[in-house]
Structure 1
Amino acid sequence: MFSAQGPSLRELAVQALSSVERGYDLLAPKFDHTPFRTPDGILDAATDALRPLGPFEQGLDVCCGTGAGMRTLEPLCQGGITGVDFSAGMLAQAREAHPDAEWVRADVRALPFADAFDLAVTFGALGHLLPAERPALFAGVYRALRPGGLFAFPIGAPPPVSSGLYWALLGFDLVMRMRNAVWRPPFVMYYRTCPLHAVRNDLTAAGFSVATAPMTSLGRRQDGSPRYRLVLARKPGEHM
């Protein structure tokens, strides 16, 4: 799962016992050599699904980490692109990799933007928010977008109960809940708290109109349904 350039077991243990912010500050220099970084295949599939909906001007990567989402924003946005994250360590890596982008340190539950972007994306970050915190994120993205702007992110289909992945994700979430029950500060990272129906309801409550697009290049499940969908949340108004 980890390359030779990735973190050691000790480094992962220290991260797991830290806060989310401090943990990612520590992990940042080696983050791109871990399986936690969004794979290029998912980024490219998102780019392909969004391309017919553009072109876009200003783009925003929410919870940008080391800047992997620039792979999607750069070919789609004709204007500037911005990444926002609360980890100074992750932003330092992103700034080094993409010096032409704008990087902002902020809590995504209180985004400091208004009517500034035409496209916002996020990859692999919703599990860092408790379900009760999602409305604040979605409201902030809504404010950050111009009328007609689009918020997009991939979401995976739940694995079948008979699969090893189902039990691995369930086990991880249970371990994290036990860890957070007995250790402070908490480290919020859960894989099973963002089902599509709940995310759709929260986006709708924030004012978005919500659709999804199948990411067929990422494969299909045995019943023929796509393994991943791209959530497309549109802010009402005319896209300029």
Structure 2
Amino acid sequence: MFARQGPTLGELTVQALSSVERGYDLLAPKFDHTPFRTPAVVLDATAGVLAGYGPFTDGLDVCCGTGAGLMVVETLCDGRATGVDFSAGMLARARDAHPDASWVRADARALPFTDAFDLAVSFGALGHFLPSDRPALFAGVYRALRPGGLFAFPIEAPPPVASGWYWFTRGFDLTMRVRNAVWRPPFVMYYRTSGRSAVTADLSTAGFAPTTVELTAAGEYRPGSPRCLLVLARKPDPSR
């Protein structure tokens, strides 16, 4: 869970009572010592699958945080690697970790790119967007990709009802809904608002051709029941 260098309970409480942007600015110096950072096993599994879909030249990490996903971009792309996030604190940490990458501070619902990348990835960010926000997010990624470009991101597969994780996520989302009903500014973070059907439907509406594959290398709830699915959304290329 939390490493010794991670945030205290008091620091987490202050973050949870802040806006999303301010909360991550506060958490940034210790973020990599929390369980919120995308595990290396998920990053490695994603890179392993995407290696079969290249080659890629320029890559974008959407909602890059402290830059964990840049490992995937830098591994797969021969050209420039770019990260975008709206937290200045998270971007500062990312710059330190990946000095050769480019960094842009922007709201992911209004990405400032057009036909600039062959690959876009995102890790652990969808829970910070309400379903009503996804059309703007996906439209921006679609616009940022070149024809034939690929948008890829892991989502959690539904956990078994009998598992502790199933009930934790239900309880967490309920707690956040209560918090946001009684406290301002809201802190948007939900586990159960980004199911496969809803996400792929929104991607299709944005113009993508989405599919999903099981990310079995990232772990299983039980044999044959993967913890993660990898969403692969291709921007059509009219010339092909």
TM-score (norm 1): 0.97
- SS of residue paired to 2:83: strand
- Structure 2 Cα separation of the partners of residues 127 and 219 of structure 1: 20
Alignment match, 2:89: 89
Amino acid in structure 1 at the alignment position of 2:28: A
Amino acid in structure 1 at the alignment position of 2:187: F
Instruction: Kindly state the Cα deviation for residue 133 of structure 1 after the two structures are TM-superposed.
Output: 0.3
RMSD: 1.3
- SS of residue paired to 2:15: helix
Task: Please say if residues 148 and 239 of structure 1, whose CA atoms lie closer than 8 Å, have aligned partners that are also in contact.
Answer: no
Alignment match, 1:199: 199
- SS of residue paired to 1:99: coil
After TM superposition, the structure 1 = structure 2 runs for residues 47-196 of structure 1, keeping only pairs within 5 Å, are 47-196=47-196
1:20 aligns with 2:20: yes
- Structure 1 Cα separation of the partners of residues 238 and 31 of structure 2: 39
- Structure 2 Cα separation of the partners of residues 3 and 224 of structure 1: 31
Return 38-47 or 218-227, whichever deviates more.
218-227
Instruction: Kindly state the Cα deviation for residue 81 of structure 1 after the two structures are TM-superposed.
Output: 0.5
Q: Runs of 5+ in structure 2 lacking a partner?
A: none
- Structure 2 Cα separation of the partners of residues 163 and 7 of structure 1: 27
Amino acid in structure 2 at the alignment position of 1:228: C
Instruction: Kindly state the Cα deviation for residue 211 of structure 1 after the two structures are TM-superposed.
Output: 1.2
Amino acid in structure 2 at the alignment position of 1:41: V
Amino acid in structure 1 at the alignment position of 2:27: L
Instruction: Kindly state the Cα deviation for residue 225 of structure 1 after the two structures are TM-superposed.
Output: 3.8
Task: Please say if residues 123 and 153 of structure 1, whose CA atoms lie closer than 8 Å, have aligned partners that are also in contact.
Answer: yes
Distance 1:182 1:239, change over 3 A: farther
Instruction: Kindly state the Cα deviation for residue 217 of structure 1 after the two structures are TM-superposed.
Output: 1.2
Superposed structure 1 runs of 4+ greater than 4 Å apart: none
Instruction: Kindly state the Cα deviation for residue 210 of structure 1 after the two structures are TM-superposed.
Output: 0.8
Deviations 1:117-165 (A, max 9, x none): 0000000000000000001000000000000000000112111111111
Deviations 1:62-94 (A, max 9, x none): 000000001111110000010000000000000
Distance 1:33 1:238, change over 3 A: farther
Instruction: Kindly state the Cα deviation for residue 116 of structure 1 after the two structures are TM-superposed.
Output: 0.2
Return 211-220 or 189-198, whichever deviates more.
211-220
Alignment match, 1:2: 2
| Number of aligned positions between the proteins | 240
Instruction: Kindly state the Cα deviation for residue 215 of structure 1 after the two structures are TM-superposed.
Output: 1.4
Amino acid in structure 2 at the alignment position of 1:17: L
After TM superposition, the structure 1 = structure 2 runs for residues 19-38 of structure 1, keeping only pairs within 5 Å, are 19-38=19-38
- SS of residue paired to 2:226: coil
TM-score (norm 2): 0.97
- Structure 1 Cα separation of the partners of residues 33 and 222 of structure 2: 31
**Percent of aligned pairs sharing the same letter:** 72
Instruction: Kindly state the Cα deviation for residue 218 of structure 1 after the two structures are TM-superposed.
Output: 2.2
Amino acid in structure 1 at the alignment position of 2:139: A
Amino acid in structure 1 at the alignment position of 2:114: A
Instruction: Kindly state the Cα deviation for residue 178 of structure 1 after the two structures are TM-superposed.
Output: 0.4
Deviations 1:180-205 (A, max 9, x none): 00000000000000000000000000
